[in-house]
A = this chain, B = another copy of it.
Amino acid sequence: MSKKFVFMFSEGNETQRELLGGKGANLAGMTNLGMPVPPGFIVSTEACAQYTKDGKAINEDIKKQIFECMERLEKQMNKKFGDPADPLLVAVRSGSRASMPGMMDTILNLGLNDQSVEGLAKKTGNPRFAYDSYRRFIQMFSDVVMEQKKEVYEHLLKEIKNKKGVKHDTELTADDLKEIVKLYKDNYKKNQGKEFPQDPKEQLIAATKAVFRSWDNPRANTYRFDNGIPYEWGTAVNIQSMVFGNKGETSGSGVAFSRNPSTGEKVLYGEYLMNCQGEDVVAGIRTPMKISALEQQNPQIYKEFVSYTQKLEKHYKFMQDMEFTIEEGKLYMLQTRNGKCTAAAALRIAVDLVKEGMIDEKQALCGIDPKLLDALLHPQFVAKDLAAAKPIGKGLDASPGAAAGKIVFTAEAAVEWNKKGEKVVLVRSETSPEDIEGMKIAQGILTSTGGNTSHAAVVARAMGICCVVGCGELFVDEHAKKATLGGKTFNEGDVISLNGSTGQIYDCLLPTQSVDIPTLLAGDFGTIMKWTDKYRAIQVRTNADTPADTKQAVGFGAEGIGLTRTEHMFFEADRIMAMREMIVAKTVEARKAALSKLLPMQKKDFKEIYLALEGKPATIRFLDPPLHEFVPHSDDDIKKLAKELKITFEELKNTVESLREFNPMLGHRGLRLAVTYPEIAEMQTTAVIEAALEVNKEKGWNIVPEIMIPLVCEVKELKYVKDYVVKTADAIIAKSKQKLTYQVGTMIEIPRACILANKIAEEAEFFSFGTNDLTQMTFGFSRDDAGKFLDYYYNKKIFEFDPFGKIDFDGVGELVKMAVEKGKSVRKNLKIGICGEHGGDPESVVFCHNIGLSYVSCSPYRVPIARLAAAQANIKNPRK
């Protein structure tokens, strides 16, 4: 027996989404529930995989199975497919596991030809209906199977309507429609070079193939990539006996949601039209009626439909999105699925369903896509405006949300315009720490260079400000206050809009809907967030470098800091000079003198962060970036700085040159700096320990500082630096006469550290995975450089997702797992977290839960997302 590729609806059930696709599984499910579903069958997703394997051809075995099922359908319907007198007609629809736009549209009325249309007319006594069905079929088949634009047919239809002097399709007579069918067929022949296919079997196989083919069209590929749907999943094809909404005024079609998908309100929401087929309702040719009108028009049908919607909602435990048809007064259910809705609606529905006792909290949590929350936390464009606007460029979606305002090119201008009450968007080639003030008050930030870990991206994410970076086609001239993009020149004050969630840029002022966080937290959002904490097994911390970011994150429920990047503190204007003095120092003494200037500032930072955390833990990472990031590189800037530092230009130039690296990513940074200059680690230890001692004393808290040494590849280098840390810390603690425990751990971000994690765990008291760097080194490409070729990789389906957005489970993930196992083999209760960007990606959070991490850490605005993802992970795979 060969493999079963084709299934009658009655042979399946709603759990078989993988095999039958979402639509097929639900049709089977509704059939099993005894609802009036027109019978049919499903060509499985495995048939799609076979089609791809067979060089994009449907093999004989699958064809045979299709026609066998067709015979069974014929028996059920007591009609023959292709019967000239009384033809069995079918609808053909795509249906992948996840509902997916961009796939093939529906083909209705398949099975009609020149003969059977006559039979249908006679049998139904309704030639108008028969020819209307035929002309629709020809148009849909041409469009979706033969890829001929449907505008041609619409144009022909319009011409006839004009000729006949009618306005609505429904006013056309049977003869008019006959004429149209002829025109359509002539047009088909002209375009395709052959007659419109008359063999229903040929029509069916062509339509099935078209569904499979549509799985690989550009729009589907883009959607799949954006939503992380694997290419190998494939789509199923649903072949369903037709019922007709266009059989006259007692027939009709409609779509409805069991609740309002915009607000989540518990009220039936939808539209219908009498005497039409499904596509007319959404096509906007006639204005559809509100579903509530059906109650007056046909109370019996309405009541029946309402009972189905309730039954389905109860069954699927979520708001349902349904299609139905009324054929000569009889209701048929054509489709149901969990409805797509706004983020606010999703939360409200979840909370309401729990209140209604239909689901429990766990089910509610699992029903919400964590990524939806982003939309609640950041300003958004109005969907309608967005759909109408045409982007003029695209960059990297560095920080989500929407921004619209007047362009400024400098931080100073941003502040100035802001004072005048203007909303501004800061446009620069790149940002630097000096721009912070301007960045804070901007609606959004746009840069022409840099990646998702550039200064602009990191700062904007932390502040929750919309940001698009690395727009290669954007050229910015800050001095001339001009920018060009999409062939247009922008001056200061010109308007621009940014979509930080997609990276798209618009040359107009799109209205934004703002967000009030306290209101949000007081509503359904807050309820859901509280629930997440009941079910999580894994902690959620935040990456934060400032007291403000820390407070924001704590407000979002962060349970501590997983990563404070201390170097960001050095970039601030008053500190960078001391930092630079340290860099140009020629002796340990001179270096220590410069460091002693940084000490009080750094200590103050840490105290403020500890206070903002209100006793929650903080992991503080020691200096990480290569020193050349702190010095200027142009001769002019070097001259200026040399003067300030009171050294010669040549001397400073030499220092700058000596810091230059071939591969900064693989250079003198991380704990390598502390190995060469242990006095840096001593200063930072002093700041951390003294800050903790003072705050503990003032507040009576018991903060346990966590010192994190970055970039380890060998346990001996960790031990070398740790020895300095411990010696410094113990001396300060002893002198203080206070009690203080502290931990020294490390960041695991180099492949060798994963391989030798058992050795490293002998010294490290905790691990935190830096999956950004680990991804770069494991793949052997740098994020900054990979942009040039990654698009090729996506287009050619070599990569199906961005490994910097979601952990590469097969490669990087294996190393992470190895490190967890090896680390725990030495230190059973080793605390292990992740502080790379992946800490805020829902799928990556699930991975972290599954491999037994203690916490994830992410930027403040991603904390709610991580909390929800963590709860879902533990509900689905409870930690023992």
Q: Determine the distance from Cα of A276 to Cα of B507 in the docked complex, in whole angstroms.
A: 98
Q: Determine the distance from Cα of A759 to Cα of B788 in the docked complex, in whole angstroms.
A: 26
Residue A614 at the B interface, CB < 8 A?
no
B780-A713 in contact (CB<8A):
yes
16 contacts between A and B (CB under 8 A): A663-B664, A663-B785, A666-B666, A666-B776, A667-B781, A667-B785, A714-B799, A717-B793, A717-B798, A749-B780, A751-B777, A751-B815, A752-B778, A755-B811, A756-B810, A756-B811
A716-B797 in contact (CB<8A):
yes
**Which one of A163-171, A598-606, A633-641, A668-676 is at the B interface?**
A668-676
Residue A796 at the B interface, CB < 8 A?
yes
Q: Determine the distance from Cα of A773 to Cα of B779 in the docked complex, in whole angstroms.
A: 12
On chain B, the residues within 8 Å of A814 by CB distance are: 755
On chain B, the residues within 8 Å of A782 by CB distance are: 661-663, 666-667
B780-A711 in contact (CB<8A):
yes
A666-B781 in contact (CB<8A):
yes
Q: Determine the distance from Cα of A564 to Cα of B749 in the docked complex, in whole angstroms.
A: 33
Closest-by-CB residue of B relative to A660 is B785
A811-B752 in contact (CB<8A):
yes
Q: Determine the distance from Cα of A52 to Cα of B381 in the docked complex, in whole angstroms.
A: 68
Residue A853 at the B interface, CB < 8 A?
no
On chain B, the residues within 8 Å of A667 by CB distance are: 781-782, 785-786, 788
Closest-by-CB residue of B relative to A670 is B780
B788-A668 in contact (CB<8A):
yes
A815-B755 in contact (CB<8A):
yes
Q: Determine the distance from Cα of A662 to Cα of B784 in the docked complex, in whole angstroms.
A: 7
Sorted from nearest, which 3 A-B pairs have the closest CB atoms? A750-B780, A666-B782, A752-B811
Residue A792 at the B interface, CB < 8 A?
yes
Residue A720 at the B interface, CB < 8 A?
yes
Residue among A720, A778, A814 with the highest chain B CB neighbour number at 10 A:
A778
Q: Determine the distance from Cα of A811 to Cα of B752 in the docked complex, in whole angstroms.
A: 5
Closest-by-CB residue of B relative to A773 is B780
B663-A796 in contact (CB<8A):
no
Residue A812 at the B interface, CB < 8 A?
yes
Nearest chain B CB to A292's CB is how many angstroms away? Answer: 52
A676-B792 in contact (CB<8A):
yes
Q: Determine the distance from Cα of A676 to Cα of B789 in the docked complex, in whole angstroms.
A: 7
Residue A359 at the B interface, CB < 8 A?
no
On chain B, the residues within 8 Å of A665 by CB distance are: 662-663, 665-666
B780-A661 in contact (CB<8A):
no
Nearest chain B CB to A406's CB is how many angstroms away? Answer: 30
Nearest chain B CB to A727's CB is how many angstroms away? Answer: 15
Nearest chain B CB to A607's CB is how many angstroms away? Answer: 32
Give A contacts to B, CB under 8 Å. 661-668, 672, 675-676, 711, 713-714, 716-717, 720, 749-752, 755-756, 759, 773, 776-782, 784-786, 788-789, 792-793, 796-799, 808, 810-812, 814-815
On chain B, the residues within 8 Å of A776 by CB distance are: 666
On chain B, the residues within 8 Å of A797 by CB distance are: 716
On chain B, the residues within 8 Å of A792 by CB distance are: 675-676
Given contacts A663-B665, A713-B811, contact A796 B675 (CB under 8 A): yes
B714-A798 in contact (CB<8A):
yes
Nearest chain B CB to A628's CB is how many angstroms away? Answer: 11
- 8 more A-B residue pairs beyond the given contacts A663-B785, A668-B788, A755-B815, with a C-beta to C-beta distance below 8 A: A662-B664, A662-B782, A663-B664, A663-B782, A668-B789, A713-B779, A750-B780, A752-B780
Q: Determine the distance from Cα of A654 to Cα of B89 in the docked complex, in whole angstroms.
A: 61
On chain B, the residues within 8 Å of A784 by CB distance are: 661-663
Given contacts A713-B779, A713-B780, A751-B778, contact A785 B666 (CB under 8 A): yes
A675-B798 in contact (CB<8A):
yes
Closest-by-CB residue of B relative to A790 is B672
On chain B, the residues within 8 Å of A713 by CB distance are: 778-781, 811
On chain B, the residues within 8 Å of A672 by CB distance are: 781, 789
Closest-by-CB residue of B relative to A754 is B751
On chain B, the residues within 8 Å of A716 by CB distance are: 797-799
On chain B, the residues within 8 Å of A796 by CB distance are: 675, 720
Nearest chain B CB to A700's CB is how many angstroms away? Answer: 39
Nearest chain B CB to A675's CB is how many angstroms away? Answer: 6
On chain B, the residues within 8 Å of A666 by CB distance are: 663, 665-666, 776-777, 780-782, 785-786
On chain B, the residues within 8 Å of A785 by CB distance are: 661-664, 666-668
Q: Determine the distance from Cα of A785 to Cα of B716 in the docked complex, in whole angstroms.
A: 20
Nearest chain B CB to A624's CB is how many angstroms away? Answer: 12
Nearest chain B CB to A396's CB is how many angstroms away? Answer: 15
On chain B, the residues within 8 Å of A799 by CB distance are: 714, 716
Residue among A751, A778, A810, A815 with the highest chain B CB neighbour number at 10 A:
A751
On chain B, the residues within 8 Å of A780 by CB distance are: 666, 711, 713, 749-752, 773, 777
Q: Determine the distance from Cα of A643 to Cα of B415 in the docked complex, in whole angstroms.
A: 47
Q: Determine the distance from Cα of A502 to Cα of B785 in the docked complex, in whole angstroms.
A: 37
Closest-by-CB residue of B relative to A811 is B752
Closest-by-CB residue of B relative to A672 is B789
Q: Determine the distance from Cα of A716 to Cα of B795 in the docked complex, in whole angstroms.
A: 12
On chain B, the residues within 8 Å of A750 by CB distance are: 778-780
Closest-by-CB residue of B relative to A791 is B676
Nearest chain B CB to A748's CB is how many angstroms away? Answer: 11
A793-B751 in contact (CB<8A):
no
Q: Determine the distance from Cα of A782 to Cα of B777 in the docked complex, in whole angstroms.
A: 11
Q: Determine the distance from Cα of A773 to Cα of B781 in the docked complex, in whole angstroms.
A: 12
Q: Determine the distance from Cα of A812 to Cα of B750 in the docked complex, in whole angstroms.
A: 12
Nearest chain B CB to A802's CB is how many angstroms away? Answer: 13
Closest-by-CB residue of B relative to A472 is B658
On chain B, the residues within 8 Å of A668 by CB distance are: 785, 788-789
Q: Determine the distance from Cα of A751 to Cα of B754 in the docked complex, in whole angstroms.
A: 11
Nearest chain B CB to A154's CB is how many angstroms away? Answer: 38
On chain B, the residues within 8 Å of A773 by CB distance are: 780
Q: Determine the distance from Cα of A698 to Cα of B857 in the docked complex, in whole angstroms.
A: 66
On chain B, the residues within 8 Å of A675 by CB distance are: 789, 792-793, 796, 798
Residue among A672, A752, A759, A811 with the highest chain B CB neighbour number at 10 A:
A752
Q: Determine the distance from Cα of A785 to Cα of B663 in the docked complex, in whole angstroms.
A: 7
On chain B, the residues within 8 Å of A720 by CB distance are: 796, 798
Closest-by-CB residue of B relative to A808 is B752
Closest-by-CB residue of B relative to A781 is B666
On chain B, the residues within 8 Å of A717 by CB distance are: 793, 798
Closest-by-CB residue of B relative to A812 is B752
On chain B, the residues within 8 Å of A751 by CB distance are: 751, 777-778, 780, 811, 815
Closest-by-CB residue of B relative to A715 is B798
Q: Determine the distance from Cα of A714 to Cα of B779 in the docked complex, in whole angstroms.
A: 9
Closest-by-CB residue of B relative to A800 is B716
Q: Determine the distance from Cα of A296 to Cα of B564 in the docked complex, in whole angstroms.
A: 83
On chain B, the residues within 8 Å of A793 by CB distance are: 675, 717
Q: Determine the distance from Cα of A814 to Cα of B793 in the docked complex, in whole angstroms.
A: 29
On chain B, the residues within 8 Å of A812 by CB distance are: 752
